[in-house]
Amino acid sequence: MAYVGQSRNVIRHVVTRGTAYHKSENAIHHPLLFACQGVRYRKLEVILTTGIEKLGKAGETVKVAPGYFRNHLMPKLLAVPNIDKYAYLIREQRKMYNPEEEKEEVKVVHKTSEVQTKEYEKAAKRLANANLVLRKLVDKEKFKNRSSKDDKPDVQTPITKEEIVSEVARQLCVKIDPDNVVLPAPLETFGEYEVPLKFPKTIPLPQGTVQWILKVKVRGH
């Protein structure tokens, strides 16, 4: 019930300002003032600020008699007219004090095997013709202690399959899973690599190849 009190305070402020504003010549166009001035409306759409038995839950839009709204709902700030500024105010208040109500149910859409196969085939073909470039810092300590100048420098942080998946998504705009990357051990040195990829057997391999390959080049900053 905490948000109800807060909503009423804010609504009271908005209604007060709105009433002052609508004392102008355009006041007769406001649904709330129609009811207050006795103009006959068959039904008036209002938004409930709190749950009312046999009428509705807080935040719902319902239709009520103008007299019922004027004499009971409005004085107690149990409801406000269904106009944009009040609707926005109620939504924001409910988000603040009842965040659980704003969570939408997540529906899991199961893709058919045909759709999955097409997606994998598209991703595989794109990766087969791509070059992934990863820029890393040099491990200075190991660089100083290397046994030969011909030894490739070590990277400061080894490259994992999760990092490869992340960079494939960022650089190549292709979404794959870590399970699609065959990397027995992280890449620890600079240089060029051919990282095997694992896709469903139903996807035809490029002519003259025996497996899917992703070309990866590890360079320094």
**DSSP string over 82-100:** SSHHHHHHHHHHHHHH-GG
**Closest alpha carbon to 84 in 39, 26, 45:** 45
What is the model's pTM? 0.47
Predicted pLDDT at 157:
92
Q: What confidence tens digit (pLDDT) does each residue in 89-101 have?
A: 776 666 665 555 4
pLDDT band at 158 (very low <50, low <70, confident <90, very high): very high
**Cβ of 95: how many Cβ atoms within 10 Å?**
12
Query: Please, which residues bridge with residue 138 across strands?
Result: 155
pLDDT, one tens digit per residue, over 194-221 is 999 998 888 888 788 888 899 999 998 7
pLDDT on residue 93? 67
**In this model, does residue 152 exceed pLDDT 90?**
no
Give the pLDDT confidence of 40-70 residue by residue, as tens digits: 447 888 888 888 888 888 778 888 888 888 8
Q: How far is CA 69 from CA 36, 47, 89, 114, 218, in A?
A: 9, 11, 19, 57, 70
Provide Rg for the chain, Cα atoms: 32
Amino acid at 117: T
Specify the pLDDT at position 117. Answer: 77
3-state SS assignment for residue 147: coil
Give the mean model confidence (pLDDT) for residues 79-88.
77
Task: Report whether pLDDT(175) > 90.
Answer: no
CB 155 within 8 A of CB 138: yes
Q: Do 199 and 214 meet the contact criterion of CB atoms below 8 Å apart?
A: no
Q: Average of pLDDT values for 120-144? A: 87
pLDDT at 216: 95
Question: Which of 62-66, 142-146, 155-159 has the least mean pLDDT?
Answer: 142-146
Q: Which helix (H) or strand (E) holds 75?
A: none
Which two tokens mark 130? 């791509």
How confident is the model at residue 168, as a pLDDT?
A: 92
Structure-token pair, residue 137: 């810092």
Counting residues of the chain whose pLDDT is more than 90, the rounded percentage is 22
